[in-house]
């Protein structure tokens, strides 16, 4: 059930979305550089309307390096929060493509969809991600493969990190400076107060939870305080052990999340 606060917020978000969709669709069709900037502006607007307070630590990608960003995943809210940082796109499970509205927005942000139940689909996604990395795009992979419960980080999966190897070993157009960039997203407070252990699951959207009630609760509720922590680049070349590199990124994200929770809002 939407509160008055939620209704007021949606009265700003919905018109902005309706205006932004055709503009972004045109930019994507024309393959314009503007297609990278419109989502950045849009998500910053969304977070401002929702009152989301974001603090960033660490050094972000410099915009010149081909970066495969490995992040933890807690909620649908991660998408607008991470999208405020820089122009980037996501790697998402194939089901997202069919979701009403969200699927459209994901396509307009040039998301690469992957059917994890089909090995050939994973390989095809690796080729697409590698192509995007060679173009210099920053791609975000929620490396747990699903959303967590807000209390723990699940083991990172290494299969799609193979896209980085495809990018650096392509004989026709090898990429340079391929790096894995660990990224920790941690919800640490609400309305300026520390978020206790019992409250952390309130932001999480996982399992069989319905999206609409969760979205309504977030839109109607008090704003969250979020800590974003960039880990140092992990060099990746044709000889890099994919599983070891993925585990190294996971360890960095775990440590950063613990530090963020300890420091509070």
pLDDT at 261 over 70: yes
pLDDT of residue 229: 97
What pTM, to 2 d.p., does this model score?
A: 0.89
pLDDT at 137 over 90: no
Task: Kindly state the average pLDDT of the residues 112-122.
Answer: 75
pLDDT of residue 145: 80
pLDDT of residue 129: 82
pLDDT at 167 over 70: no
Task: Kindly state the average pLDDT of the residues 132-138.
Answer: 83
Least trusted range by pLDDT, from 5-14, 92-101, 110-119: 110-119
Q: Which is more confidently placed, 223 or 249?
A: 249
Least trusted range by pLDDT, from 95-99, 134-138, 147-151, 154-158: 147-151
Residue 115: which pLDDT band, with cuts at 50, 70 and 90?
A: confident
Average pLDDT over the chain reads: 85
Q: Which of 62, 42, 179 is nearest to 109 (CA)?
A: 42
pLDDT of residue 206: 66
pLDDT of residue 169: 65
Q: Which is more confidently placed, 48 or 236?
A: 48
pLDDT at 93 over 80: yes
pLDDT at 197 over 90: no
Q: Which is more confidently placed, 259 or 197?
A: 259
Task: Kindly state the average pLDDT of the residues 59-81.
Answer: 88
The tens digit of pLDDT for each residue in 16-66 reads: 999 999 999 999 999 898 999 999 999 999 999 999 999 999 998 877 777
Residue 118: which pLDDT band, with cuts at 50, 70 and 90?
A: confident
pLDDT of residue 98: 86
Task: Kindly state the average pLDDT of the residues 103-123.
Answer: 83
């Amino acid at each position: 059930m939407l509160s008055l606060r939620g209704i007021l917020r949606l009265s700003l978000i919905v018109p902005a979305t309706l205006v932004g969709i055709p503009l972004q669709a045109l930019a994507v069709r024309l393959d314009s550089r503007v297609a990278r900037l419109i989502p950045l502006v849009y998500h910053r607007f969304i977070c401002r309307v929702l009152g989301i307070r974001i603090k960033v630590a660490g050094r972000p990608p410099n915009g010149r390096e081909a970066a495969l960003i490995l992040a933890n995943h807690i909620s649908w809210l991660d998408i607008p929060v991470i999208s405020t940082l820089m122009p980037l796109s996501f790697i998402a499970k194939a089901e997202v493509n069919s979701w009403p509205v969200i699927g459209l927005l994901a396509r307009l942000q040039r998301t690469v969809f992957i059917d994890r139940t089909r090995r050939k689909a994973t390989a095809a996604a690796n080729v697409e991600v590698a192509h995007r990395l060679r173009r210099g795009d920053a791609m975000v992979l929620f490396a747990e493969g699903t959303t967590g419960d807000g209390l723990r980080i699940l083991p990172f999966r290494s299969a799609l990190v193979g896209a980085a190897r495809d990018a650096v070993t392509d004989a026709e157009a090898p990429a340079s400076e391929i790096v894995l960039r660990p990224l920790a997203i941690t919800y640490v407070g609400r309305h300026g107060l520390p978020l206790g252990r019992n409250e952390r699951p309130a932001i999480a959207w996982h399992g069989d939870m319905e999206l609409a009630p969760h979205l309504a609760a977030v839109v109607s509720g008090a704003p969250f305080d979020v800590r974003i922590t960039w880990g140092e680049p992990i060099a990746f070349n044709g000889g890099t052990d994919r599983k070891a590199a993925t585990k190294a990124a996971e360890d960095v994200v775990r440590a950063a999340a613990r530090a963020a929770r300890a420091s509070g809002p």
